[in-house]
Amino acid sequence: MKFSANLGYLWIDRPLPDAIRAAKKAGFAAVECHWPYDTPSNDVKDALIETGLSMLGLNTRRGNPGENGLAAVPDRETEARAVIDEAIAYADAIDAGAIHVMAGIASGAAAHASFLKNLQYAVSQTSRTILIEPLNPHDAPGYFLSTTDQARDIIETIASDNLKLMFDCYHVGRTEGDVTTRLKELLPLIGHIQLASVPDRGAPDHGELHYPTVFSAISSLGWTRPLGAEFRPRHDDEPGEWLASLQHHPGEFNAD
């Protein structure tokens, strides 16, 4: 089993290119990020080439301070599409695999319609994977997309091959539970899997969600792509220590 370092949480005290190098040194097989736009894309691309790591994905900008995305916010279509275009251009420059289009804080029929329109725009502008991710209401109150059922309805409505679900075991664990069943049910729609402990979003080696069981379920589904380690580390060396513990005790964690 392979893992991707989410540089939105890991090694955030250093420039993005150096965080990529730290992920390589720690033994991660890939990287992903949140909002890389303040870093010149050439610097990121050079670090990816140097380390041999791929960038699995990045997010669209959140919008103004206090916002959490724009794609589902009514009457913000021009801004929403501008940040989608920006994300696609950056992804093209560094050959990122996927773009997470952030919905934002909104609700109701108008928000649903806005999200559909902006996602239809996104999938029409790129062949890269477009991801949508339900966020739990404890961490993201008011976020438009909050459950996997809601995400499945949207994906099936748009019916585009490059629109997929970002399945975050942490968010699903906090909101819905029964993570392994949801993984099995939603597998055809999933474009990326992320993980962290529940409920504290720490390293996935403790908490309510038993990750040895989750890893076993993921392996049984035939999933071979890197899993996104999107957790809040207690200290700088923890990501590497956690990954090393998996590699040193593969039977315990069902990882290889």
Residue 255 has pLDDT above 60, yes or no: no
Residue 256 has pLDDT above 60, yes or no: no
**Does any domain span residue 53?**
no
Task: List, for residues 64-120, the tens digit of each pLDDT value.
Answer: 999 999 999 999 999 999 999 999 999 999 999 999 999 999 999 999 999 999 999
**Does any domain span residue 127?**
yes
**Does any domain span residue 92?**
yes
Spatial neighbors of 91 by CB under 8 A, at least 6 apart, are 57, 58, 97, 98, 99, 126, 128
Q: Alpha-carbon distance 4 to 199, whole Å?
A: 21
Q: Domain containing 173 — which CATH number? A: 3.20.20.150
How does the average pLDDT of the chain come out, rounded? 95
- Residue found by looking up tokens 């404890």 in the block: 138
Burial of 54 (0-12, 13-18, 19+ CB in 10 A): middle
Q: Can you give the residue range of the structural domain that contains 140? A: 60-253
Residue 199 has pLDDT above 50, yes or no: yes
Residue 77: active-site member? no
Residue 208: active-site member? no
**Does any domain span residue 138?**
yes
Residue 254 has pLDDT above 90, yes or no: no
Amino acid 48: pLDDT: 98
**Does any domain span residue 9?**
no
Among candidate residues 50, 79, 86, 133, the one labeled active-site is 133
pTM (2 d.p.): 0.95
CA distance readout (Å), 224 to 108, 162, 218: 37, 19, 9
Residue 143 has pLDDT above 70, yes or no: yes
Among candidate residues 156, 208, 230, 238, the one labeled active-site is 230
Amino acid 2: pLDDT: 96
**Does any domain span residue 161?**
yes
Average pLDDT over residues 25-47: 98
Amino acid 246: pLDDT: 84
Residue 250 has pLDDT above 70, yes or no: no
Task: List, for residues 210-222, the tens digit of each pLDDT value.
Answer: 999 999 999 999 9
**Does any domain span residue 182?**
yes
Contact 211, 205 (CB under 8 A): yes
**Does any domain span residue 226?**
yes
* Count of domains observed in the chain: 1
Q: Alpha-carbon distance 36 to 43, whole Å?
A: 11
Amino acid 249: pLDDT: 58
State the chain's maximal CA–CA distance in angstroms. 52
Task: List, for residues 171-185, the tens digit of each pLDDT value.
Answer: 999 999 999 999 999
